[in-house]
Structure 1
């Protein structure tokens, strides 16, 4: 049986026909010369044609009857970051499968590579302290710290390194916690995404003028239009149009700067600035990173919770205590020994941003704290999670796509598309933090099965680059693990007890494929496509439920890509079940495939 399955896998991977050796004859040398000349001409043709195609003078046409498993496409690649590929079924999300072992060779090798990279980075860059973690649903998979806990001290004993529990200022990662608080209150039905700010802050107004009107004195400052309110969703996604930092810092004149004027940042002065200064762009036009917007969101959430306490108290109650984490908004006698201090601007270590800016950038957290939070994001169904799986799926969505085909904005997610081992872009949801000499990055992808946390002090500011490198190093190992587990659980040859039904499934190119299915003596491929089926395989799409898949009946094409699959799911029913539904049950040698629409159960052989 295994030999037959191996043969089918090889047929999918290659259609090469073995060449049988022949005895040389008198025409051999002549044929060799002709082949050489033809080879040169072919190279010229390929190079010239490729250049013309790349510059758009000719197109590459894909025949519909060969499009299903082809990776070719028509026209020039739209992006240098990830070339387009025909829609392939994704493997089950890594977080739904058994977790990998750190001792396995791909993961131990990845850990060594990441450790070497971090050591080299410490040697070549101006970094005071660095803590990096790779997180899976089971917890910290990789955990290393470098440098100094208190880089501003020179006395003996000051060389102590930070560790998993050391507290860094996480700057804008505070915004992620503010958005999490919003989701918690939404889940409790205290508020909704699209509630206007003025529902909770009755005196809130904003300036609806455009800048031309404003500068010419033609507008109506502080007017409020109910037709275009500023909402909680807009604040959480930087889509409100409110400026970056209010009250703004004035430099007097430009480009030769005059006297710098800084107004004290209070709640009252901030609300006054929002009321008087026009928006950078109209709401939902384009993201504008707004610290002020998240300060406003923090005040709004506190008001919505109907509490007289501060935002910090609200987050302690709703987030820190249930998660049992030691995050804070200020330095205390209890946590002072854990605070990471940079060598330059050490005064930032204990700067209290107060309730005015705590929700925007005032939080301290450790790797252990952030790893606990990330675990609940990866698997919201785990015990102790603050959000339901439904809420998490709702939260992990882009709200704006930038024209670079690589970055997107969520609420508050800074989303980056990173290609996996198979060249397909995956959305990594994250939040970065930058407060002068404090840098941080929190990034994860549930489908990939892991996330990365970077906490850093010093002049070197590329925490994003370190996180990206960690993802790239570990991605291949996690992709390998998912492919192996998927093949073990769902790949193989399946046969019914009466031998009238059989199916063959294989894991190939990052997808699970159905390459043969006969039910009650009827070839399913012929039923779907006629007596001479074109398709060599159909993708099995994981639904997100354990052991449940749908057959991707739609035909992929460069023009439509994934849309045909979306349109063809759940097409017809038989025996009260959709005909494209495939279920798996059992463990080990007692593994079964079920096709409810045909009332067929097949055993793995």
Structure 2
């Protein structure tokens, strides 16, 4: 076995001597590693059974599962963990829970299903059903809806039943853009490695766990925050996710044969794991698979004990990277890379020094730039602050609670946090219509998938690990997840931006090492997150539809006009708009016919009204097409599009405004 303290290329030596650790006030003290595969970075298929609700409580299967499903994940020790989750539908809320679309049941042999295909017109699976209008996401009526109250009560019963005999420490927070935190659940004790009589204190929203790779979210947020600040201060060059890495961090190099690739790498590619850089360069080195002992032998198994003993400075890290080949072409495919995020942290730190004329560590920088503005007072990287030691959760298995991660690795996995603090991040940054720290447009670009996997379910963002969700109206969305895990503690945050809510789950292991090696199960925060989404998403969907229907559906009249709006097939639909004898929907058809002669009526059955990001403003579009295809074909001289419908409350009554016909119609 090669020495843990030396490497032949001279990039580092005696790195182990640079590590320092804390001795927590626990019976176990500092623990290094356990060999249980982590669940932090898995890419798993979100397979949720298509259930049918009968009798209000009895759920019956309607469809058989797809066979030969491909399930994969990235784990800490081997990079691969095969797993599959089967999550039931939620009774009394919807007969169509979040699920994988069963394409095999409707496949016709056509590779491309175009808009004119009979299947796409007749089947709701292929409609572009719009999300709720963005301006309604913070409507306080949402949280008062009976469906949501029922869902939260049902979730409480489910979580209590599932964790009744659990040894784990579990904390969950659910956040909605209308209110902030709307629900929390806590189970277990803080000091799991001590007896209940010696340490009875229970976990709560301020109990601190290592969040491991969720740290990557903060590394990207720091990049976005610096970009916005540079733009506001007119500092050049402005940093963005499209910035070339070598422009920001000139010291970054790859072996000579990858010189051109090194020049192409962007900060966004680092943040989406698409830079082609290896996962943990130089950290875990072995002679052969024989070096991996199972079960681990205390005092003999040193394989994982060598993790974090190398690359303990920026110089060592950059030296290691400069001598190792890329594992993928730059931009080709996501390949999980902790090393890439350590480099991203070096790059943003280098830029921040120039922007703010300060020389601070990454941990100090994000405290000043992110944690303090968001009032995340129990979140930190680096040594555990003395005043927070009482809130640290200590697992019963071997763990890394006491380990001070070398500062260069903090952006990849060095942060501690709580569900209370993560709820603030989700609410104030990921969900609020006026996010803190970054602009709304930055946030909209951030919550996007960059690379879609061929399973049609999973995708990768910056640094999101997204999963496809099919709503009861068959509209498909991405839910943005980021998981984290180091031995003994596992975490997950997720956001469903189109429906304005998010979830934070933190867990700590309650079993001993011997119990784990014998096959004891642990609580997976991803599985808990799925239960929350499958319970809450259909309820929120129902609440929004109720509000949209109550506010906008109905008949609008004026002395010279009429409009009819209904909610059907998942759409707020303009069925009729006539002013001064002019049929506006017919005129929209005639505008299309002018281009190629009379054709089938596009708007004969009405036009779908798509809510914009602006209060009361909707755009009308064809019912069978997606929203990008036909906006503002023609406008008035004032710039009002043929498709723009505006609603405002006037004297307490909803009023429809249509400027091209000088229309002002009042809801009856």
TM-score range, shorter chain: 0.7 to 0.9
Secondary structure of the residue that 2:657 maps to in structure 1? Answer: strand
Q: Out of 392, 398, 404, which is 1:352 matched to? A: 404
- Which residues of 2 match residues 49-448 of structure 1 at below 5 A? 56=108, 64=116, 70-71=122-123, 84-93=125-134, 96-100=137-141, 102=143, 104-123=145-164, 127-137=167-177, 138-154=179-195, 156-189=197-230, 190-207=238-255, 220=256, 224-225=259-260, 228-254=263-289, 262=306, 264-267=310-313, 268-306=315-353, 307-326=358-377, 327-329=379-381, 330-346=383-399, 348-382=400-434, 385-448=436-499
Q: 2:115 & 2:439 partners in 1: Cα distance?
A: 45
CA contact (8 A) 1:381 1:388 kept: no
Pairwise CA distance, 1:589: 3.8
1:351 to 1:105, Cα distance in 2 relative to 1, 3 A: same
Rg larger in 1 or in 2?
A: 1
CA contact (8 A) 2:134 2:498 kept: yes
User: CA-to-partner distance for each residue in 1:546-583, whole Å, 9 max, x for gaps?
Assistant: 10011104x63xxxx52xx4231111123532111100
CA contact (8 A) 1:133 1:367 kept: yes
Pairwise CA distance, 1:203: 2.1
Pairwise CA distance, 1:440: 0.8
Secondary structure of the residue that 1:432 maps to in structure 2? Answer: strand
Partner of 1:36: none
1:247 to 1:51, Cα distance in 2 relative to 1, 3 A: closer
Q: 2:271 & 2:463 partners in 1: Cα distance?
A: 5
Partner of 1:519: 579
Secondary structure of the residue that 1:112 maps to in structure 2? Answer: helix
- Which residues of 2 match residues 533-552 of structure 1 at below 5 A? 533=601, 535-552=604-621
Pairwise CA distance, 1:179: 0.5
Contiguous gaps of at least 5 residues in structure 1? 1-49, 73-83, 208-219
Pairwise CA distance, 1:148: 1.1
Q: 2:438 & 2:584 partners in 1: Cα distance?
A: 42
* Aligned-CA RMSD value: 2.9
Alignment of 1:594 with 2:629, yes or no, is no
The farther-off stretch of 234-243 and 528-537 is: 528-537
User: CA-to-partner distance for each residue in 1:161-206, whole Å, 9 max, x for gaps?
Assistant: 1111111111111100111000000112241222222223332101
1:280 to 1:255, Cα distance in 2 relative to 1, 3 A: farther
Greater relative contact order (Cα < 8 A, sep 6+)? 2
1:71 to 1:226, Cα distance in 2 relative to 1, 3 A: closer
Secondary structure of the residue that 1:359 maps to in structure 2? Answer: helix
User: CA-to-partner distance for each residue in 1:471-494, whole Å, 9 max, x for gaps?
Assistant: 110112211111111112221111
Q: 1:426 & 1:193 partners in 2: Cα distance?
A: 24
- Which residues of 2 match residues 494-533 of structure 1 at below 5 A? 494-496=556-558, 498=559, 500-529=560-589, 533=601
Q: 2:448 & 2:110 partners in 1: Cα distance?
A: 37
Secondary structure of the residue that 2:481 maps to in structure 1? Answer: strand
CA contact (8 A) 1:593 1:601 kept: yes
CA contact (8 A) 1:502 1:518 kept: yes
Q: 1:62 & 1:179 partners in 2: Cα distance?
A: 37
User: CA-to-partner distance for each residue in 1:507-562, whole Å, 9 max, x for gaps?
Assistant: 22332111111121122233233699563121011121110011104x63xxxx52
Q: 1:52 & 1:199 partners in 2: Cα distance?
A: 48
CA contact (8 A) 2:611 2:618 kept: yes
Q: 1:61 & 1:174 partners in 2: Cα distance?
A: 41
Higher helix content, 1 or 2: 1
CA contact (8 A) 1:89 1:512 kept: no
Q: 1:60 & 1:179 partners in 2: Cα distance?
A: 36
Q: 1:357 & 1:504 partners in 2: Cα distance?
A: 59
Q: 2:115 & 2:364 partners in 1: Cα distance?
A: 62
Q: Out of 536, 554, 568, which is 1:474 matched to? A: 536
Pairwise CA distance, 1:341: 1.1
Pairwise CA distance, 1:338: 0.7
Q: 2:449 & 2:103 partners in 1: Cα distance?
A: 35
Secondary structure of the residue that 2:122 maps to in structure 1? Answer: coil
Pairwise CA distance, 1:422: 1.6
Q: 2:486 & 2:169 partners in 1: Cα distance?
A: 15
Partner of 1:567: 629
CA contact (8 A) 2:211 2:417 kept: yes
Secondary structure of the residue that 2:157 maps to in structure 1? Answer: helix
- Which residues of 2 match residues 31-42 of structure 1 at below 5 A? none
User: CA-to-partner distance for each residue in 1:372-419, whole Å, 9 max, x for gaps?
Assistant: 11112344444x711121221121221111111111111111111112
CA contact (8 A) 1:414 1:431 kept: yes
Q: 1:402 & 1:312 partners in 2: Cα distance?
A: 34
Pairwise CA distance, 1:230: 2.0
1:56 to 1:390, Cα distance in 2 relative to 1, 3 A: closer
The farther-off stretch of 88-97 and 407-416 is: 88-97
Secondary structure of the residue that 1:323 maps to in structure 2? Answer: coil
